[in-house]
Amino acid sequence: MKHFLLSLLLLLATAAHADDWQALLPDDAYIAEVSLPGTHDSATGSGFSGFLGAFGESYARTQDIDIARQWATGIRAFDLRPCVSGTSLQINHGIIPTALSFDDALATLRDSLVAHPTEFVVIHLLHETDGDSNSPDFETLLHQSLQAEGIKERLVDFRRDLTVADLRGKMLILYRNAYTTHPAGGEMSGWAGYIDWNAQRRGSIRGGGTGTMNTATLYMQDFSNTSADGAVDTKCQALRTMLDFSTRQTISTSADIVWVYNFASAYSLVANLFGNSVSTSNGYRDNATYTHTAIIDYMNTHEAGPMGIILMDYAGVDQSGDYATRGLELTRLIIDNNTRYFARRAQEKLIAAHWEALQAEVQRLVDLRTELRRELREQCPDVYDDFSSRLTQLYTAIIAEKSRLKKLYEAGTLTLDDAVDSAPLEAEIEAIRQDAHAAQELAIALGISDTPETEAPAVYYNLRGERIHQLPTSGIVIRRTPDGKSRKVILRP
């Protein structure tokens, strides 16, 4: 049944790729636990504009499909790099303007969220200073765009412990520039665009609020130039290193949360343009054939876990020109990774709750034994010593049962079908109670003698009525003489 349910979830997730795959995410999941497929320089899929736009197809394209179609394939993280163009913001890739304005990009995402309120998006925002010579007007225009009607209502301020429920139907903007006035979302700092594991773990995100949840640790991998010999291998290993960290995270409380950006994007081929070595569109394609395959291979050989935000080139398409980018395949695998991960997490939570219930049941049995011991001390004082060994054996049996189940839990093999074998233990508790009370009644009826009357022929029995052929050195026995009379006798060493 469990396998059927998991298969059904996977089937539903596949069917939901187009528009509503996040509907399957649990509301209480932290956003930092969700694996988000995303696009690098997302707006290049809309083409290019202006004089410099003529160079876009050869040197600046990183996507074959526009943001609306990226959304349709399941992309939920977007990389937008606006700059000042006249009195508004245009999205650029470096010095080359795309055909998409920042306002239009936000409107496209807003409309998608309105139509699909279970979904949410995360935007990586970077002022493309190469496109406007770091214009001082940028911050003012950015605030205008983000405060526009229909947009500002969709924005969420950053908190470390944001959940899926917090973000449904919303946009979270994470920006890499410092601004005089907090615009929205969260400010990322300590960015490392090179390979240095220590540096890559020193990032942080700060929201506009206060308190401990206003900040979070940020890990990032954004090595972008893989044109040197061996650099593609270095990039792929860097991807795997970050995945090793993120997928093995154990996020039990908000204190465990680390946010992760892992860029699959980079360019492995360059060209000489006006005396400068520049990236090429085919360089992004070529790199994608390696990095996407590296991630796919990793996912196929490792247990599902949080992957962070994966920004890729040529997402949503498996073939771009002459290059097998596998972007659609990777997008779908990242989405399915969420299904597998959260199914496992749900099972782990069920098992943890089951283990707690098992421990409570063991404790109940221990408490019953403790209460029985107190009862015998108070109500069966004359025969208590005769039952102390049975009480000890009972306790040992209860603890052995706990130890058996604990080994299963610690080995990860405990199932929901495993249970405390309470019935025989409860039966022994009741048997001891009945035997002790019967023995106490007999002791009262017969009276007590300090020594056995060995001079007269007699037969001896224990308190359970079993005949004793050799008297013990101590304890209580029943002496029965040939005339049918019985007497309780205390044997002392």
* pLDDT per residue as tens digits for the range 369-395: 999 999 999 999 989 999 999 999 999
Q: Is residue 370 part of a domain?
A: yes
Q: Can you tell me the distance from the alpha carbon of 32 to that of 29, in angstroms, rounded to the nearest whole number?
A: 8
Percent of the chain whose pLDDT exceeds 90? 82
Q: Which residues contact 354 (CB under 8 A, 6 or more apart)?
A: 414, 416, 418
β-partners of residue 468 are 460
Contact call for residues 107 and 64 (beta carbons, < 8 A)? no
pLDDT exceeds 90 at position 483: no
Closest CA to 362 of 414, 399, 407: 399
Contact predicate 157/184, CB 8 Å: yes
Whether residue 459 is predicted with pLDDT greater than 90 in this model: the reply is: no
Q: pLDDT class for 492, splitting at 50, 70, 90?
A: low
| 4 pLDDT more than 50 | no
The 10s digit of each residue's pLDDT in 59-87 is 999 999 999 999 999 999 999 999 999 99
Distant-in-sequence, close-in-space partners of 202: CB < 8 Å, separation ≥ 6: 190, 192
Q: How much is the pLDDT for 481? A: 81
* 413 CB neighbour count, 10 Å cutoff: 10
Q: Which long-range contacts (CB under 8 A, 24 or more apart) does 361-368 make?
A: 361/419, 361/420, 361/422, 362/398, 362/401, 362/402, 362/405, 362/420, 365/398, 365/401, 365/420, 365/422, 365/425, 365/426, 365/429, 366/395, 366/398, 368/426, 368/429
What pLDDT is recorded for position 485? Answer: 74
Q: Is pLDDT above 80 for 488?
A: no
**257-290 residue pLDDT tens:** 999 999 999 999 999 888 889 999 999 999 999 9
Residue 333 included in any domain: no
Residue 334 lies in a domain: no
Structural domain includes residue 336: no
Sequence-ordered alpha helix ranges (H) in 169-324: 197-200, 231-247, 281-301
Same domain, 377 and 252: no
- Residues 31-58 have pLDDT tens digits of 999 999 999 999 999 999 999 999 999 9
Number of domains the chain contains: 3
Report how far Cα 171 is from the mean position of its chain's Cα atoms. 22
pLDDT, tens digit, 9 for 90 and up, residues 311-350: 999 999 999 999 999 999 999 999 999 999 999 999 999 9
Residues 254 and 353 in one domain: no
For residue 491, name the pLDDT band (cuts at 50, 70, 90).
confident
Assigned domain for 157 exists = yes
Do 87 and 165 reside in the same domain of the chain? yes
On whether both 460 and 377 belong to a single domain, the answer is: no
Are 108 and 157 contacting, i.e. CB atoms less than 8 angstroms apart? no
Residue 300 and residue 160 share a domain: yes
> What pLDDT does residue 8 have?
44
331 occurs within a structural domain:
no
CB 394 within 8 A of CB 369: yes
Average predicted confidence (pLDDT) for the chain: 92
Query: Do 25 and 155 belong to one domain?
Result: yes
Average the pLDDT over 448-469 and give the result: 69
> How far is 383 from 257, CA to CA, in rounded Å?
60
| Whole-number Å distance between alpha carbons of 183 and 192 | 23
Q: Are 349 and 483 within one domain?
A: no
Q: b vs e for 231-263, b when ≥16 Cβ sit within 10 Å of the residue's Cβ?
A: bbeebbebbbebbebbbebebeebeebbbbbbb
Residues 257, 398: one domain? no
Please write the tens of the pLDDT for every residue from 152-173: 999 999 999 999 999 999 999 9
Average pLDDT over residues 429-448: 86
Q: Which of 448, 483, 453 is nearest to 463 (CA)?
A: 448
- Are residues 9 and 45 both part of a single domain? yes
Q: Is the separation of the CB atoms in 278 and 271 below 8 Å? A: yes
Q: How many CB atoms lie within 10 A of CB 393?
A: 12
**217 shares its domain with 315:** yes
- Is residue 38 within a helix (H) or strand (E), and if so which, with residue range? strand 36-39
- Could you tell me the residue range of the domain that residue 37 belongs to? 2-325
In 3D, which of 409, 429, 405, 408 has the Cα closest to residue 419? 405
Q: What is the tens place of the pLDDT at every residue in 80-96? A: 999 999 999 999 999 99
Looking at the structure, tell me whether residues 424 and 469 fall in a common domain. no
281 in a domain, yes or no? yes
Q: Which of 402, 428, 443 is the last residue of a domain?
A: 443
In terms of DSSP H, where are the helices of 34-132?
A: 56-59, 67-73, 102-115
Q: Over 60: is that where the pLDDT of 229 sits? A: yes
User: Is 330 a domain residue?
Assistant: no
Does residue 453 register a pLDDT over 60? Answer: no
Task: Work out the angle at residue 330's Cα, subtended by the Cα atoms of residues 325 and 333, and round it to the nearest 5 degrees.
Answer: 160
Contacts of 144 (CB under 8 A, 6+ apart): none
Burial class (CB in 10 A: 0-12, 13-18, 19+), 146: buried
Region 300-313: mean pLDDT is 97
Count the Cβ atoms, other than its own, within 10 Å of residue 425.
Answer: 18
Whether 303 and 388 map to the same domain: the answer is no
CATH number (domain holding residue 111): 3.20.20.190
